[in-house]
A and B are shown apart, each in its own frame.
Chain A
């Protein structure tokens, strides 16, 4: 079983839609939960992170963690064409990151 499972998509939505990106994980030792965004031909960049269960909001982005069900979500409100990218979840044990395979998102104008 992989440490992190992420639906690869691709996901295609119209501009302005609410997007939900999800990951599941198996390791109870994960403490931090990162989301990275990767544009085509670029390296990943940190979008936001949460610690433990709960929600964290940053502008149009909300990260949500449910440790009881080992489920991680990233919500994008009012999606924009500039949000078109691959989104990688990356739970972290405090010692090592484990990256999901990424979900490819396209926001159509």
Chain B
């Protein structure tokens, strides 16, 4: 299995809703990442988990809350989002110590906040 699976593929939520994005990989990767991508822009790093521990939080607002329950799963909990948070949210995984394979990205969750 060489894929990173993200669910759901599309999500529409109101500003008062609570929802979660899920990401799963079974490649034995020990680093997992959340990126946010706006249209026609490169992916922007949000969070990095290394060996299930949060190692980097790129000044992301607290309405985004990541969780790594185990080495294969990564969640992003969403609460009280704003319309400007509408974007494609990408999960990626990679080897924790080095990047000789690059990263494997999921197909993303397209989030619309109304």
Real binding pair: no
Q: Which residues of A contact B (CB under 8 A)?
A: none
